[in-house]
Structures are given as C-alpha cells and as structure tokens.
A and B are shown apart, each in its own frame.
Chain A
Amino acid sequence: MCTSDRPLGSRGRRALAAGTLAFLLAAPAGSQQLRDPGPARRPGTIGFQMTVSHVSPSPGPIDPRGAALHRRLKDEIRYESLRVLEQRRLDLAVDEIGTMQLPTGRRLRVRPLDVGKQGVLVAVDVEGSMKTDLRVPNHKLVVIGGQPYEGGRLVITLEPEY
C-alpha cells in the first residue's frame, strides 16, 4: 500500500536530484533563447550580422551592445561615446542583394559573390560614399566608418556567418 506521507526513499532522492540538475542545466539555455530568439538561417545562404553605430567626440556612454566593437575600435579611432543604432542579420544567397537604410538617408547594399576557402567574397556599396569588394573569413569583423552624422561618425560593421 502506498501512502502520500511516506518519506522519500533512496530512489526518490535520486529522482529529485536528477530533476534539479536537469532544471539547472536547462535554465541557462532557456535564458539564452530568450536573449537571442533570431530565426535560423535560411539554407544555402550566408548570414551577415550587420550593425550601424554612431561614435561621437562628445562625452557619453558606451552602448553595451557595442562593447565588442568598442574593444576593437578604441585604439584606432578617438571618440568619447558609442551608440548602437541598428542591428540586423541579412541572410543572403550568392548574388542576392541585401539593403539597409542608413540614418543618413543613404542605402547600404551587401552582395555576396562567392564563397571559398579564404572566406566570402562580398561587394559592399555605401551609397554615395564608397564601394568595396571584401574577402571576409567566417566570423571576421569588418568595420566601415567615417561617414559624418550628427556631429560624429557612422560606423557600420559586417560579420559573415556561414
């Protein structure tokens, strides 16, 4: 006969411990999913993590979302504050053109041309400003900056993932 007030046996304690462990392991994964709920990349495409930021000579905070950019940029460019304006991922097939509207009103076009051992060959066009072809290894950060905007400069970052 089984009663509800019976103390836990060794099997019960093991089950409780396993459940607790499973909860503790699952919790960080769940919180990670909450932080980054982005959809999976389309098959056959190259993901480009794009960020548009603004750096200014005026004193101010460093946007936590731009901490990685700040670490790479602070020794090369003199600025006092950094603000992330937009973050987006572009999933593009080869020869497909992705477009972003910049705060300056100009457009940014990204077009992967080829994927090889040395990285993805991508054409980048900052409308009215510059055009470039880049061979970017996987997860390498490319920073394109210098366009004047609101007393500072725009900074565009591009990081391929494939």
Chain B
Amino acid sequence: MSAPRIESDVLHAYHDGELSPLARWRTKRLLARDPAARAELTRLAELRAAVREVASGASTPDFWPGIAAQLAALDARAEGGLEATPGQAPALAGLHAWLRPLAAGALAAAVAAAWLVFSTPTEAVDGGVVRWLYTKGRPVMVLDRPDAATIIWMLDETPGDQTGRGTSGVYI
C-alpha cells in the first residue's frame, strides 16, 4: 500500500503558510515520507527567494530630484553668475554608483545646451571684414565700414557701466 501523496495545491498552501494547524501537522507528517514532495517544496522556496531578489532589485531610486536641483543651479548661474554652493556638490552622492555616469551625462548635456544658448557666435551677413565673431557672450561693438578702419570693441558686461556710443563715442 502506497503512502498518500500531497496534492500540489496543498503543498503550495503549506509553503505559503495558509493551512490550518491540523492540516499543517498532517502535511508535515506526509512530507517526512515523501521525497518528491520535499523536493517540490525546496523548489518552491528557491523560486520565492528568486522572485524576492528580483523584486528588491527592481526598486529603482528616484534620481530626478537630484538632477532637477542641478538644472536649477545651472539656470541660476547662467542668469545671475551664481557660484556653486558647497551643499550642492554632493547631490549625486545619493545615487547608486551605476546611475552616476547617467546623471553626469544628463548634466553635461544640460551644460552644453546652456552654453550653446548663451554663447551663440555672430555671423556676418553683409560680406564686411568681420566674417565671424565669438566673444563668450560679452557685448561687443563692431564698426565695419569699407572706407574706414574696422573697429571691434569689447564692452563691459556690467549693466550701466557703458554709456553707449553716441556722438561723442564710447567711454572707456
């Protein structure tokens, strides 16, 4: 006479801790005599461990707040010449190591975009002497006349420091 087999759903319920105390005691006695059921129970345990590991690894941290903080700092720096404060530097420290290059790349792209926006070179359109001019965003006065000397004059960045060019010329 063969020993009674443990039904699959009962084994799963036992594994999940869903059986009543009496049913759990009876299943435990059957497992002691059934190697195949014990092997199945071991596989169920391994499967649960694997699922738990994958589930824990899938919890990606939200790194957008760190990037947003850096973008805000870049905007402020571009508008007001704001220097980086010491508290902003370790913003990337809260990220996982493998995410840091990604975040750094995003920051580099933001910096490059800001650089392009704020430092667009000028291109001559009338075929004068000055064909291309780049001053890192500094204001510049260009007097490009065919019958006189071509004058390229860098102006101060401080608003109000220059009176502008009038009949009396630019003040230095």
Give A contacts to B, CB under 8 Å: 55-57, 72-79, 118-119, 121, 129-137, 140-147, 152-153
CB contacts between A and B, total, < 8 Å: 96
Interface size on B, residues (CB 8 A): 27
B131 to chain A: closest residue by CB: A133
* A18 → chain B closest CB, angstroms: 45
Chain A interface main SS type: strand
**A109 vs B127: C-alpha distance when bound (angstroms):** 23
Q: Report yes or no: A76 in contact with B132, Cβ–Cβ below 8 A.
A: no
Q: Report yes or no: A129 in contact with B154, Cβ–Cβ below 8 A.
A: yes
Q: Report yes or no: A129 in contact with B129, Cβ–Cβ below 8 A.
A: no
Q: Report yes or no: A153 in contact with B152, Cβ–Cβ below 8 A.
A: no
Contact of B129 among A57, A75, A78, A135 (CB under 8 A): A135
29 CB contacts below 8 A, A to B, read A72-B148, A73-B149, A75-B169, A76-B153, A76-B169, A77-B169, A119-B129, A129-B135, A129-B154, A130-B134, A130-B136, A130-B154, A131-B132, A131-B134, A132-B152, A134-B129, A134-B131, A134-B150, A135-B128, A137-B129, A141-B150, A142-B150, A143-B149, A145-B152, A145-B153, A146-B152, A146-B154, A147-B154, A152-B172
* B19 → chain A closest CB, angstroms: 79
Contact of A77 among B136, B138, B172 (CB under 8 A): B172
Q: Report yes or no: B143 in contact with A76, Cβ–Cβ below 8 A.
A: yes
Give B contacts to A, CB under 8 Å: 127-136, 138, 140, 143, 148-155, 165, 168-172
Q: Report yes or no: B170 in contact with A76, Cβ–Cβ below 8 A.
A: yes
* A62 → chain B closest CB, angstroms: 15
A129 to chain B: closest residue by CB: B154
**A26 vs B171: C-alpha distance when bound (angstroms):** 47
A156 to chain B: closest residue by CB: B152
**A73 vs B169: C-alpha distance when bound (angstroms):** 9
* A106 → chain B closest CB, angstroms: 13
Contact of B149 among A78, A119, A142 (CB under 8 A): A142
